[in-house]
Amino acid sequence: MTTNDPTKTPTTASPQFASTSHSRSTARPILTVSARNAPNRIPPADFASLLEATNADASPCHGSLDTEVVVDLSGVTYTYEGEADPVLRNVSLRVNRSEFVLVLGPSGCGKSTLLHLLNGSVPHILNGTLEGTAVICGKVVAETKVADFATDVGMVFQDPDAQIINTRVRDEVCFGLENLCRRVDEILACQKEALDCVGLPDFGDRSIFELSGGQKQRVSIAAVLAARPRLLVLDEPTANLDPAGMAEVFAVLARLNREYGTTIVMVEHRVDELADKVSRVVLMDQGAIVFDGSPRAAFSARRVVHSEEADIVPAASWFPQVAELAMDLAAASRRELLPDQVPLCIADAVDLCAAWSAPKEAVAVTTPPVERLKKPLLAIKSLSFGYDRNTPILKKVDLALESNAIVALLGRNGSGKTTLARLLVGINAAPAGAIDLGGKDLSKLGAREIAAYVGYVFQNPDHQFVTDQVDEEIAYGLKVRNYSVDEIARRVDEVLAIVDLKRYRHRSPFSLSLGERRRLSVATMLVLEPHLLVLDEPTIGQDYERAQQLMGLMARLRERYGTTILMITHDVRLVAQWADRAVVLRSGEIAFDGAPIELFGDADLLQSAGLLAPPIHEVSRLLAVRNPERGIRPVLSSRELVNALVATGRKTSQ
């Protein structure tokens, strides 16, 4: 039986969390004194001692009595109700206490289903057929209610706003413990220690609405940690965060694992800042585990996996950029890359490059810059805007866009990026005279006129669909504008070919995979041949390979139609690879407008705007500082850096 005595002596030094399900449907218990209003005067015991004390008498209900084994899956196959094919196929996985496991794989490979299995949501809420054996924290999943995992598994999801239900930080952290009917003194001690653990010690009385995205996600983690879970499960917890918020969350998770021994299983696509923090990597493909080992071994070789459409894609799409650099250096050297040579962080990569010597036969390959014809497209002059007249979100913004360009719009969450985009497409009413669109005042144009000039692709493609057939969806915008039948047919056929959806023209949009639906949402805008296409966070909910496919499509549109792409994004690697120009919004004002290479060289600006430089930029910059005589300059891609190392190696040898 579990005891709540916080004075009990722990049996081991490392903590053992025992979680809350953080259920939103559980009725709030009536407490004699509410932890929310009680004075925070109780000195908390050492967090590790509290955690061990709570779980000291706990014993598994079923399965292995080995308390070191937190997750034990054997031959697990799972098929959702109404589906013919299983989403998990013969999965076997054992996770021991204090491991930090990163799960990677393409969209649709079964990662989220695997996580939902870990707290019993699969099969008890997300119904289906479960085969094989799944034991979590000593409890057989098939025989255990979801509520019975409430003191074992804590889950944190992508969007903190969808998980947080209270308006004050302390209320949110206390909520799960109150529902578990814990004593007031224990609730206060645990909420204080949980906030300390996530680096928010003085935030108890803060309003949730005052917090940044990263701070909100840290509160979500604290709310789960307060109930002391043995296992912490996270499903892309940084998907909606800017780079600074992402770094905050990753630092907290690393500290929890390193200092408190928290067992963590996590799905995440943003691996550059995470690779050196995890102890193990699991790679999934088509519902099966195809690799399970150390991070260095995982990132030492290019593998192939399959997309939702069963197309072959490179698994290296989810590798840290410094590991990709190591593979490129090995290829240039014509040598095998050994796992112990794989860098997991920028410092490792700098050491690898500094020691690397180019073979005699290596030749630097340079690509000449492409000159593109550009014409004025849009001009914003002294634009100020706010939903509340007394609280402006955008402040005297001046911005000009030209045709035939890919422009990245960056900045912290809440800096005004989406507000600006909505003004450009007429969702928000622009002030008179502030936006010139093709020589016309945008404020005087109707929705149909704006849509013919500017297309807008939402974060969630499902929000754009209005028909039940792919070709009808693409044709819809043309039909409401009274285009001829022949012209509609011509444009629909052309666009279907461009986005590679011809074979699905008679399918329902909602029967397509996520990647296909994203391409369809682009097609519905593309058919109108807009001069400007706005992409709102194209990488949210997309794995790296999907983002690459989407941006490849954008590049083809630019080449074919001279379309300008304005993408709102937090993905600095995407910006480095694809953007001609970067615009940074900071507190509603334009703080930078120029080339990405110049942006990433301004450390003060990056910090103030919540951005991080891509790893390759930092590696090349540090190499230039360490060995200025080599003449290396900061670059944005692995190929550029390898070429620079080859070129400087030749100069040195001459």
The predicted pLDDT at position 2 comes to 37
The predicted pLDDT at position 211 comes to 87
Q: What is the mean pLDDT of the chain?
A: 84
Q: Which residues contact 98 (CB under 8 A, 6 or more apart)?
A: 14, 257, 261, 262, 263
Residue 126, domain member (yes or no): no
Residue 41 predicted with pLDDT over 80 = no
Tens digits of residue pLDDT in 162-207: 889 999 999 999 999 999 899 999 999 999 999 998 989 999 999 9
3-state helix, strand, coil in the chain (%, to 5): 40, 20, 40
Tens digits of residue pLDDT in 412-469: 888 899 899 999 999 999 999 999 998 999 999 998 889 889 999 887 788 889 999 9
Residue 44 predicted with pLDDT over 60 = no
- 437 and 452 fall within a common domain: yes
The predicted pLDDT at position 413 comes to 81
- 254 and 393 fall within a common domain: no
Residue 474 predicted with pLDDT over 90 = yes
Cβ proximity of 379 and 398 under 8 Å: no
Tens digits of residue pLDDT in 398-407: 999 999 999 9
> Residues 328-338: what's their mean pLDDT?
88
Phi, psi of 296 (to 5 degrees): -65, -40
Element (H or E) spanning 104, and its range?
Answer: strand 100-104
Query: For residue 314, what pLDDT band results from cuts at 50, 70 and 90?
Result: low
- 510 and 645 fall within a common domain: no
- 463 and 381 fall within a common domain: yes
Residue 596, domain member (yes or no): yes
Residue 30, domain member (yes or no): no
Residue 58, domain member (yes or no): no
| Residue 209, token pair as written in the block | 């609405």
Element (H or E) spanning 574, and its range?
Answer: helix 572-578
CA distance 605 to 93: 44
Residue 642 predicted with pLDDT over 60 = yes
Beta-bridged to residue 585, according to DSSP, are 590
Return the SS3 of 125.
Answer: coil
> Residues 483-495: what's their mean pLDDT?
94
Cβ proximity of 291 and 282 under 8 Å: yes
Pure H helices in 261-397 = 295-298, 321-333, 346-355
> Parallel, antiparallel, or unpaired: how do β-strands 88-96 and 69-80 relate?
antiparallel
- 215 and 249 fall within a common domain: yes
Tens digits of residue pLDDT in 255-269: 999 998 999 999 998
Residue 58 predicted with pLDDT over 70 = no
Residue 637 predicted with pLDDT over 60 = yes
Query: For residue 650, what pLDDT band results from cuts at 50, 70 and 90?
Result: low
Cβ-in-10-Å burial (0-12, 13-18, 19+) of 560 comes to exposed
Residue 600, domain member (yes or no): yes
Residue 15 predicted with pLDDT over 80 = no
Return the SS3 of 589.
Answer: strand
> Parallel, antiparallel, or unpaired: how do β-strands 564-568 and 406-410 relate?
parallel
The predicted pLDDT at position 25 comes to 35
- 338 and 465 fall within a common domain: no
In the chain, how many domains are there? 3
Tens digits of residue pLDDT in 544-582: 777 787 888 888 888 888 899 999 998 899 999 999 999
- 247 and 350 fall within a common domain: no
Phi, psi of 126 (to 5 degrees): -90, 85
What strands lie across the sheet with 128-136, from one edge to the other?
Answer: 88-96, 69-80, 128-136, 139-140
Residue 511 predicted with pLDDT over 90 = no
- 240 and 271 fall within a common domain: yes
608, 626, 644 — which closes off a domain? Answer: 608
CA distance 591 to 298: 39
Q: Domain containing 193 — which CATH number?
A: 3.40.50.300
- 506 and 435 fall within a common domain: yes
Residue 33 predicted with pLDDT over 60 = no
Residue 28, domain member (yes or no): no
The predicted pLDDT at position 30 comes to 30
Q: Which domain holds residue 184?
A: 97-112+146-293
Question: Within 10 Å of residue 64's Cβ, how many Cβ atoms?
Answer: 12
CA distance 492 to 62: 58
Among 448, 493, 447, 490, residue whose Cα is nearest residue 470: 493
Percent pLDDT > 70 in the chain is 85
> Residues 218-238: what's their mean pLDDT?
92
275, 293, 311 — which closes off a domain? Answer: 293
Return the SS3 of 600.
Answer: coil
The predicted pLDDT at position 500 comes to 81
The predicted pLDDT at position 358 comes to 79
Question: DSSP labels for 468-535?
Answer: SSHHHHHHHHHHTTT--HHHHHHHHHHHHHHTT-GGGTTS-GGGS-HHHHHHHHHHHHHTT--SEEEE
What strands lie across the sheet with 394-402, from one edge to the other?
Answer: 394-402, 376-385, 435-437, 440-441
Residue 317 predicted with pLDDT over 60 = no
Among 301, 346, 350, 293, residue whose Cα is nearest residue 321: 346
Query: For residue 313, what pLDDT band results from cuts at 50, 70 and 90?
Result: low
Residue 167, domain member (yes or no): yes
Residue 347, domain member (yes or no): yes
Tens digits of residue pLDDT in 88-108: 999 999 999 999 999 998 877
CA distance 413 to 406: 21
Return the SS3 of 396.
Answer: strand
- 252 and 283 fall within a common domain: yes
CA distance 522 to 21: 38
* Sign, Cα dihedral of 464, 467, 470, 472: negative
The predicted pLDDT at position 43 comes to 39
Residue 408 predicted with pLDDT over 80 = yes
> Parallel, antiparallel, or unpaired: how do β-strands 435-437 and 376-385 relate?
antiparallel
Pure H helices in 242-372 = 243-260, 295-298, 321-333, 346-355
Tens digits of residue pLDDT in 68-92: 999 999 999 999 998 899 999 999 9
Query: For residue 66, what pLDDT band results from cuts at 50, 70 and 90?
Result: low
> Residues 599-620: what's their mean pLDDT?
96
The predicted pLDDT at position 364 comes to 61
- 420 and 557 fall within a common domain: yes
CA distance 431 to 441: 10
Q: Which residues contact 25 (CB under 8 A, 6 or more apart)?
A: none
| Torsion on CA atoms 214, 215, 216, 220, rounded to nearest 10 | 100
- 589 and 624 fall within a common domain: no
CA distance 246 to 611: 10
> Residues 284-305: what's their mean pLDDT?
90
Distance between alpha carbon 632 and the CA centroid of its chain, in Å? Answer: 32
> Residues 119-133: what's their mean pLDDT?
95
CA distance 553 to 538: 12
The predicted pLDDT at position 308 comes to 61
Return the SS3 of 552.
Answer: helix
